[in-house]
Copies of this chain bind each other. A is one copy, B any other.
Amino acid sequence: MKEQYSNILVEFFERMSSWENGVVADRDISLAQMHLLEVVGNHGKLRMKELSEKLGVTTGTLTVMVHRLVAKEYLAKMKDTDDKRSYFVKLTKAGETEYDNHHHLHGHLIEDIINTLGTETAESFFHNLNTVQELM
């Protein structure tokens, strides 16, 4: 039984992984890049350092990723006038479009889940999901 739960968990993770990869593959963008856009979209505007911490990557990694997204015109990078070592990153219009788009797909998925489980069950499911997340 513990065995079975373990499999369900792993299977869930993989499905979600490929779901995310799938919805992103149609756009001209990778999952890691979409994730970056998501974090920036959720926070409005942030420094490279802050962003690297939220993404869990080094600033060196981030420098390159941001470059690519700036080249694709999904991101804008501006100097911070207060701290001259620092930069701010934010979404461009095109970046926001990508962000909204992805957001909608998540919304649809959530709707499907609610419709399938029912409002009550969905409520407790997400509650438990949140609890479990904190255990990891």
Chain A: residues with CB nearer than 8 A to chain B? 2, 4-6, 8-13, 15-20, 38, 56, 103, 106-107, 109-114, 116-117, 121-122, 124-126, 128-133, 135-136
> B residues within 8 A CB of A10?
38, 106
Nearest 6 pairs of A and B residues by beta carbon: A19-B136, A12-B133, A125-B128, A6-B106, A15-B136, A15-B133
- 29 A–B pairs (Cβ distance < 8 Å), ordered by A: A2-B110, A2-B114, A4-B126, A5-B113, A5-B122, A6-B103, A6-B110, A8-B126, A8-B130, A9-B109, A9-B129, A10-B38, A10-B106, A11-B130, A11-B133, A12-B132, A12-B133, A13-B17, A16-B133, A109-B135, A112-B135, A113-B135, A117-B131, A121-B128, A124-B124, A125-B125, A125-B129, A125-B132, A129-B129
The answer on a CB contact under 8 Å between A135 and B116 is yes
By secondary structure, the A interface counts as helix
